A and B are shown apart, each in its own frame.
Chain A
Amino acid sequence: MADTLDARMKHLRSRSPQNAKDGLAPDRQSIDLEPLAEDPGKRGFTRRSFLSGLGAAGVLAGAAPLAAAAPLVEPATEDQTDSAGTGNVTLRINGKDYALRNLDPRATLLDTLRERIHLTGTKKGCDHGQCGACTVHVNGRRVNSCLSFALMHEGDEITTIEGLGQPGNLHPMQAAFVEHDGYQCGYCTSGQIMSAVALLKEPIGESEDDVKQAMSGNICRCGAYTNILAAVKQVRSRA
């Protein structure tokens, strides 16, 4: 019912155009200069760069509500290890260190990944730990990145879908999702895959019901469950 529907939609509403300058949030301009993030230009048109270009027309305008205050992302250096109370934190993501300065303490790990570091493979669904779209691995275990503040993750080893595999070098679970058509719209897919990879190392049972149970923290509104299950079962049987 009313529960949190209103709150769930809030992050969509709060994308006010005031952060947008010429269609680009200030931090996006800076991130493009960073060696840490891939330059979308190198790969020609991407879906995201295309959508970003539409920002002036009001689509996804200024999609960086938390990051606007202090958008610098810098490579880590030795003397930036103190995170307590300063809003400075070094996050280790997919084997790379990202030194973030003046991070708003309210920035969740999810928002930080997406809006500061621009690893947008991790998706924001409900933002309340109810859908699993934001699932990433922290120290090898799957968690909901929407329910954790980024400042809490100094020293943690974080893996996102981008770190799992890339086009041409897919993780077996990614390949299995492609093979079994384990998605329709694709929005839940990165969370599904992060969960599916994590469960390979969890002490769950052998049965199909065990897999369903272990995947139940990831909701798919399209209802691709049958194909997701087939993909997970295939990878489990080959592991």
Chain B
Amino acid sequence: METFSYVKAPSIDKALASAAEAKFIAGGTTLVDLMKLSVEIPKTLVDINLLPLDKIEKLPNAGLRIGAMVRNSDLAWNTDVQKSYAVLSEALLSGASPQLRNMATTGGNLLQRTRCAYFREPSAGTPGGYGCNKRTPGTGCAALDGFNRTHAVLGTSEHCIATHPSDMCVAMAALEAVIHVEGPKGKRSIAFADFHKLPGDTPQIENTLEPGELITHVDLPRPVEGAKSTYLKLRDRASYEFALASAAVVARVEGGHIRYVRVAMGGVGTKPWRSHEAEAALMGKPANASTFKAAAEVALAKAKPQKDNAFKIELARRCLVRSLKTATA
């Protein structure tokens, strides 16, 4: 690991003042891991663990404000989250391990980086190493011709097919969360759908954060009255594994018909994958198996399989059908 200088920030202002050329460190579960692999080589680490951003508060509009430093386990076990945003609690508890969830923060999870083995290979993007456009633009993508069973089928480009790994983000996409940040130019908020970027021809740019910006909190809108929500994650083992396919669904059914629905998928996209196509195919339709199947078809209609991951398309369809059944039961 390359050495770095370490600064502990006692306040948000001090953290922002120290932020130029620096990385913020919170739980460390992604960053320390990637520093050991020489994927991340920060010159300065600004420790933000003292910042007063560890609260979960009800908003005046009946939504929920989640501080960026709220640990994944605290968020998952928060009674308001369990009661009104079950999909988020379930997604969090399906991710990583209890130890990692005790460390990982809300803000950090938004910035979780891909598990693509080529991206994580220490020499990737360097001369003689695997090509990785995310590591070093222009070096190619070794996953395209390599072992790509776990890679994405939606939102890929000729430059990158890396899967977005987060479960939390899939739930937040379905909940239409809003991300609040503070930086050198002041405060701003970002709709969840606009936060993560498709790889396109710049896979090294993963989100819309500007240099020096700090995520301060995430707001959830007020719970949809009468709606149920659920998260289903399918993977190679029952726990402590990343998704091959997952689905987050928020739905309200009245008189047997779907009156509100939000759908997002994980494990298949290069970003947390909101499916407006599936939602359009579900709205107003009877909540039954043929509706769900039709929605799953359109959700994966644009999926592009690679050599080893075509199975994900059918797996994601079935995952979505099962989740819709659960959320509308």
Seen from chain A, the residues whose Cβ lies within 8 Å of a Cβ on chain B are 1-4, 6-7, 83-85, 87, 104-106, 108, 127-129, 132, 135, 141-144, 146-149, 151-152, 154, 195, 198-199, 202-203, 212-214, 216-218
Query: Does the CB pair A217–B100 fall under 8 Å?
Result: yes
A selection of 8 A-B contacts at a CB cut-off of 8 Å is A2-B121, A3-B117, A85-B5, A105-B5, A127-B36, A149-B25, A151-B8, A214-B98
> What string of 1s and 0s marks CB contacts (under 8 Å) between B64-79 and chain A?
0000000001000100
Query: Does the CB pair B32–A147 fall under 8 Å?
Result: yes
> What string of 1s and 0s marks CB contacts (under 8 Å) between B1-45 and chain A?
101111110000000000000000101110011001100000001
Candidate in B7, B37, B49, B102 with the most chain A CB atoms within 10 angstroms: B102
Min CB distance A69 to B, Å, is: 11
Which residues of A lie under 8 Å from residue B8 when comparing CB positions? 83-85, 151-152, 154
Which residues of A lie under 8 Å from residue B4 when comparing CB positions? 105-106
Query: Does the CB pair A129–B29 fall under 8 Å?
Result: yes
Query: Does the CB pair A151–B6 fall under 8 Å?
Result: yes
Min CB distance B138 to A, Å, is: 22
Rank and list the top 10 A-B pairs by shortest CB-CB distance, nearest first. A217-B97, A216-B239, A105-B6, A216-B240, A3-B117, A84-B8, A147-B32, A141-B102, A144-B99, A217-B99
> Which of A3, A87, A143, A217 is B120 in contact with, Cβ under 8 Å?
A3
> Which of B3, B47, B103 is A147 in contact with, Cβ under 8 Å?
B103
Which residues of B lie under 8 Å from residue A129 when comparing CB positions? 29, 33, 97, 99-100
Given A84-B7, A84-B8, A143-B103: A195 in contact with B98 (beta carbons within 8 A)? yes
Chain A, residue nearest B77 (CB) = A203
Within 8 A of A (CB), among B197-243: 238-240
Cβ of B140 within 8 Å of any chain A Cβ, yes or no, is no
Cβ of B260 within 8 Å of any chain A Cβ, yes or no, is no
Min CB distance B240 to A, Å, is: 4
Query: Does the CB pair B120–A4 fall under 8 Å?
Result: yes
Candidate in A87, A147, A212 with the most chain B CB atoms within 10 angstroms: A147
> In the assembly, what is the distance between CA of A152 and CA of B121, in Å?
27
Given A3-B117, A149-B6, A203-B77: A142 in contact with B99 (beta carbons within 8 A)? yes
Chain A, residue nearest B239 (CB) = A216
> In the assembly, what is the distance between CA of A160 and CA of B32, in Å?
21
Query: Does the CB pair B122–A6 fall under 8 Å?
Result: yes
> In the assembly, what is the distance between CA of A214 and CA of B76, in Å?
14
Given A84-B8, A129-B29: A144 in contact with B36 (beta carbons within 8 A)? no
> In the assembly, what is the distance between CA of A128 and CA of B6, in Å?
21
Chain B, residue nearest A127 (CB) = B36
> In the assembly, what is the distance between CA of A195 and CA of B37, in Å?
26
> In the assembly, what is the distance between CA of A199 and CA of B98, in Å?
9
Min CB distance A163 to B, Å, is: 17
Query: Does the CB pair A128–B7 fall under 8 Å?
Result: no
Min CB distance A136 to B, Å, is: 9
Which residues of B lie under 8 Å from residue A7 when comparing CB positions? 36-37, 122
> In the assembly, what is the distance between CA of A195 and CA of B102, in Å?
12
Which residues of B lie under 8 Å from residue A128 when comparing CB positions? 33, 36-37
Chain A, residue nearest B121 (CB) = A2
Query: Does the CB pair A212–B239 fall under 8 Å?
Result: yes
Query: Does the CB pair A195–B99 fall under 8 Å?
Result: yes
Query: Does the CB pair B33–A85 fall under 8 Å?
Result: no
Cβ of B195 within 8 Å of any chain A Cβ, yes or no, is no
Chain B, residue nearest A217 (CB) = B97
> In the assembly, what is the distance between CA of A151 and CA of B47, in Å?
9
Candidate in B27, B33, B77 with the most chain A CB atoms within 10 angstroms: B33
Min CB distance A180 to B, Å, is: 21
> In the assembly, what is the distance between CA of A212 and CA of B25, in Å?
31
Which residues of A lie under 8 Å from residue B33 when comparing CB positions? 128-129, 147
> In the assembly, what is the distance between CA of A133 and CA of B25, in Å?
23
Query: Does the CB pair A217–B240 fall under 8 Å?
Result: yes
Additional A-B contact list (4), CB under 8 Å, known A84-B6, A85-B6: A142-B102, A144-B100, A146-B32, A147-B33
Which residues of A lie under 8 Å from residue B240 when comparing CB positions? 216-217
Chain A, residue nearest B31 (CB) = A147
Query: Does the CB pair A149–B100 fall under 8 Å?
Result: no
Which residues of A lie under 8 Å from residue B25 when comparing CB positions? 149, 152
Query: Does the CB pair B37–A132 fall under 8 Å?
Result: no
